Structure 1
Amino acid sequence: MPTKSDGLAILNTPVAELPELMRQAREIRDKHTGQHAQLCSIVNAKSGACPEDCAYCAQSGQHQTGVETYALLPPEKILAKALLAKKNGAHCFGIVTSGKGLSPRDIEQVVEAVRLIAAEDIHAAASLGIIEKESLQKLKNAGLRRYHHNLETAESYFAQICTTHTYEDRVRTARAAKAVGLELCCGGIIGLGETKEQRVELVMALAELAPESVPLNFLNPIAGTRLANLQPLDINDICRTIALFRFFLPDKNIGVMGGREQLLRDRQDLVFEAGANGFMLGDYLTTAGNSVESDYALVAAAGLTA
């Protein structure tokens, strides 16, 4: 694996040398993951009123963002969203809920939703917060194939972003998912105010966890959150970061998720140019995504297949 010094060198790549760095990242991607784009979709199955204080999050009850708030959707409504995702060509469908974790009753409701989704031959995933092995095993038995739980940021910076749970809580949940035999989807958010050294720290921690899929988000500051006035990363830093993740995680599916549309705008093709091999189809939790047609156009323009 590359060293910390290697990571910092990537993040400090001069603009004139950036095209070559991106070419090398694409070469690594093509060698290890091929030229097939990984596309996923999600449903915001339980929205808002979260008691956690994550500085970036529109769904935190400690922020005034005007986000829609509702209880866990019934299994039939979740299934309808999954069927739409399948129709749109998503390879994986995730059930995402706000909050630190779900109650036992809500877990059972998600278990039923997973059963319905798995029966339709849909790759079922879930992101339900901090969760114990027993519940993960129930979900796996119902047909869940992947659990998503981001580290969010480097351990050395985590307390600046969240104080209501710990970095170790997140690592423990990620390890529990792997322990019961689920695929692990685990990444983070870049541009939270962390240093370049901390970005390297995060990617090295992810390499140690060895998830199958790594969602890479870039902060799109949302009014009403603690990070509302933070300056977003520029396009060059986004490209350097995508390349960084590809160099350190050569054989993983790296998807550029949150912030893609808002920060890259008419240069979303750079997602693939810098070495990623996927992104999210459709809407995010609280922000809108591209049209499905425009996203497929990006995939085709990159010479990838969906």
Structure 2
Amino acid sequence: MTTTADTTVPADTATPDILVQAREQVLERGEALTKDQVLQVLQLDDEHLPELMQLAHDVRMRWCGPEVEVEGIISLKTGGCPEDCHFCSQSGLFASPVRSAWIDIPSLVEAAKQTAKTGATEFCIVAAVRGPDARLMAQVAAGIEAIRNEVDIQIACSLGMLTQEQVDQLAAMGVHRYNHNLETARSHFPNVVTTHTWEERWGTLNMVRDAGMEVCCGGILGMGETLEQRAEFASDLAALNPDEVPLNFLNPRPGTPFGDLDVLPASEALKSVAAFRLALPQTILRFAGGREITLGDLGAKQGILGGINAVIVGNYLTTLGRPAENDLDLLADLSMPIKALNDTL
């Protein structure tokens, strides 16, 4: 069964040239849009959104297929981070409500078990740090060993910036995929983080790939970037060519520098999802944090029918998500199978 997006294109609306180009270039040949072309997509009037979403869905179905990859995440070490990422309530530099805490190994294993029960193939261990110290690396190693003894699931990690030695250690532990988000365009990054550089993040990502782990790298939309910078970010990611791109939408957190920013309009968020799909036609594009507040209850369906082919189920790190059952029921209704574990190996 082939699922099509539930969109209606007005008969009297002429197809913009950029969508004609994208259909031939991306859908037919599998060639990503350039930065300038992505900008043209982002600048489309809202009346062309249904046609854009249909095209992004068609691209996803042709080059990625109908399967949806499901992932759960857990925070091994929460809060107290020394970095000043302006969107993050886990920074120890802001007057935000998240306190520093660790979870124990039995709790980590139980979280992995619950994640696996949803049909998820990925379980990501996350820590709020600049980079892992010896204690954290030891805890991760113990956690991975304990999970492997009881749960059949791929294990990913997100532990900040790494040294080459730490990259090698994680690879030896059997970490399947490493997440380290660039967060935003290179030109906008200094407005988002000042305690480390975009280039430092890029360096970690290249070491991860060279070590044989899959690369997961995305960011957050709606942090005051211009449309030009959003197109730049899509181009940055295309140049990196990650295996997975998680797309978050800013959910302004009290006490952070971005706590008073407006939530991204739903049409702008959906336009961005589709544009990123056209810039990354064969990449896992994952719905992550902020989709509930940005897109509302219909957001999951609209995104999955507009280019998304992966979701995080359950809660995020510091914000609540949708119940896992809601997303799983939606996938069943859309006849989109969950990617099996043996398809990720």
Superposition TM-score tier, normalisation by shorter sequence: over 0.9
Q: Which residue, out of 33, 43, 46, partners 2:77?
A: 46
What does residue 109 of structure 2 align with? 79
Q: 2:148 & 2:265 partners in 1: Cα distance?
A: 40
Q: TM-score, normalised by structure 2?
A: 0.86
**After the TM superposition, which parts of structure 1 deviate over 3 Å for at least 4 consecutive aligned residues?**
none
What letter matches 1:37 in structure 2?
Answer: V
Match of 1:2 among 30, 33, 40: 33
Residue pairs, 1:189-268, within 5 angstroms: 189-268=220-299
Q: Is 1:276 matched with 2:308?
A: yes
How far has the Cα of 1:99 moved from its partner? 1.4
- Following superposition, the deviation at residue 68 of structure 1 comes to 3.4
Instruction: Please give the per-residue CA displacement for 1:163-220, whole angstroms capped at 9, x wherever unaligned.
Output: 0010001101111110100001100110000011111111111111111111000001
Residue 105 of structure 1 deviates from its aligned partner by 2.3
Largest Rg, 1 or 2: 2
Matched, 1:183 2:214: yes
Q: Give the structure 1 partner of residue 66 of structure 2.
A: 35
Secondary structure of 1:266's counterpart equals coil
For each residue in 1:251-292, what CA deviation from the matched residue of structure 2 results, as whole angstroms up to 9, or x when unmatched?
A: 011011010111111222111121111111111001111111
Aligned 1:80-159 pairs, distance under 5 A: 80-119=110-149, 120-159=151-190
Q: d(CA) in 2 for partners of 1:298 and 1:165? A: 39
Q: Work out whether residues 150 and 188 of structure 1, in 8 Å CA contact, stay in contact via their aligned partners in 2.
A: yes
Could you say what the CA RMSD is over the residues aligned between the two structures, in angstroms? 1.2
Q: Distance in 1 between matches of 2:37 and 2:107?
A: 47
Note if contact 1:255-1:279 (Cα within 8 Å) is conserved in structure 2: yes
Q: State the alpha-carbon separation in 2 of the partners of residues 76 and 179 from structure 1.
A: 32
Match of 2:329 in 1: 297
**Maintained 8 Å contact 1:10/1:244:** yes
Structure 1 residue 116, shift from structure 2 partner: 2.4
Give the letter aligned to residue 116 of structure 1: A
Correspondence for 1:170: 201
Stretches of structure 2 that go unaligned for 5 or more consecutive residues are: 1-31, 339-345
Deviations 1:223-268 (A, max 9, x none): 1110111111111101110011100100011011010111111222
Measured after TM superposition, the shift of residue 117 of structure 1 is 2.4
Aligned equivalent of 1:14: 45
Instruction: Tell me how far 1:115 sits from its aligned partner.
Output: 2.1
Q: Which amino acid aligns with 2:275?
A: L
1:285 aligns with 2:317: yes
Contact 2:78 2:100 in 1 (8 A): yes
CA distance in 1, matches of 2:126, 2:279: 27
Q: Which amino acid aligns with 1:191?
A: G
Q: Structure 2 counterpart of 1:215, which letter?
A: P
Shift of 1:77: 2.3
8 Å CA contact retained: 1:131, 1:173: yes
Distance in 2 separating the partners of 1:283 and 1:305: 21
Please give the alpha-carbon distance, in whole angstroms, between the structure 2 residues aligned to 1:232 and 1:262.
Answer: 8
Alpha-carbon distance change, 28 to 247 in structure 1, aligned in 2, over 3 angstroms? same
Aligned position for 2:15: none
% same residue: 38
Preserved contact between residue 190 and residue 216 of structure 1 (Cα < 8 Å): yes
1:104 maps to a residue whose letter is: A
Greater Cα shift, 290-299 or 279-288: 290-299
- Separation in 2, partners of 1:118, 1:154: 37
In structure 1, what is the Cα distance between the partners aligned to 2:146 and 2:321? 26
Once the two structures are TM-superposed, the CA of residue 91 in structure 1 deviates from its matched residue by: 1.5
Contact 1:114/1:139, CA 8 A, preserved across alignment: no
How many residues are aligned here?
305
The CA deviation at 1:303 is 3.1
Aligned equivalents of 1:75, 1:87: Cα separation in 2: 19
Paired amino acid for 1:97 = A
